[in-house]
Chain A
Amino acid sequence: MAKLILSMDNLVLKEIPLNKERTTLGRKAHNDIQIDNLAVSGEHAVIVSILNDSFLEDLNSTNGTFVNGQQIKKHFLQNNDVIELGKYRLKYINEAAQSATQADFEKTMVLRPDMLRKANEPAAAKPAGGAVPAVMAPPIQTAPAAVPAAPALPFGAIQILTGSNIGRRLELTKSLTTLGKPGVQVAVIARRPIGYFLTHVEGARYPLVNGMAIHTQAHELKDHDVLELAGVKMEFSLKA
């Protein structure tokens, strides 16, 4: 379950679990999180929690709501976001994002109409016994790993050695680059995290690498390999 850590001047004041569908923040006493400070509006903001996600919404407060230094009207909270209300700071911690294992990732489950409600009731966090079918268990999921960092693989290029395009250079920056003449002989070079691979796509003849025809399977290319297809020779190279 996600929580907020309330602090002022780097001093932690308390931890607040986000166990309700709506958690209100404001100066007035009826708020779930009361912050008795004149810079905070009576009803300042609200956090709406839906299963593992939480959304922060400013309720037209006088001094505004800030997340990580940016003023927001509505914000989809991410683990470690810092909400600022006047001098107070609320750090958003989402344990689901931290603790779940890889195997839980992206396991598809059915969301039943009553699940949203239950997920927000503290008691439903641990369903009782075998009464609840497996698919109804509240899901635990990790945050998506940050978009995979660009693979360390250096970029490759093709230099045309013969024919009318002699001397032309083709950078292999896309995940797939086709070579050859459509309808006659076509091959594709795939850029993968582990290297560049040449695969035959169409045509009766298979491309040659260093004078040898490749098979139906993808063929890994090495620096300075010489490729030949549709009568044109070209050299593959990897930038250091």
Chain B
Amino acid sequence: MSARLLEVSGVWKGFDDHAVLRGLDLQVDAHQAVVLIGASGSGKSTLLRCINGLESVDAGRIVLDGDVEVTDPDIDLDLVRRRVGIVFQSYNLFPHMSVIDNITLAPRKVAGVRAAQAQEEARALLDRFGLAGKADEYPDRLSGGQAQRVAIVRALAMQPELMLFDEITSALDPLLVGEVLDAVRELKSGGLTIVMATHEMGFAREVADRVCFLHDGIVREQGSPEQIFTDPQEPTTREFLARVFG
């Protein structure tokens, strides 16, 4: 059994008078790929943002690597974020910087890596994800699939222990989804720990070690992809899957 990397226990999070997370529990072991599924508004994005410290929780604890408590009000969140990468649905590349500068900004300014070394590492990563010729392009010259892969490389350049993907293919042309999912496959085979919110059920089934179905702000049901997709126990899970697969 590998080590527990992420422990989410009893997390509540509301916006105004609407509760999005309602005492959610989730455990992720190192080198696991956990896929979150569920309807829009079920709390997938909110959960990922809480894990990264982009949102503060109302109650509960999120512990990273057994010792770093993300939800501790006094913690230096910049330190947490160095260890946890996140990629968003809308890429959020910096439009005024070239691809290589987008990628090397955080390693240089946050991790203190020398410029030459950061560039070398960035180019190696670009190469690995089929973006070798794009280092000096600006984001507005990239296709959606390329932009999203650059966003993945940018998060990866900080060498995170845990990678969060927040519906990273939802904004893409269907023809471009494949290349981004290939990038995730590549990361998974490299042994990176991944928590991914997605609507790509086929991909979830193929890549996930565990699938978690979120409903009403908790993990309503979880299990192997095989079990969730072929033999769901909860009526809400069945209903959701029936709607997704039409």
| Chains A and B are bound partners | no
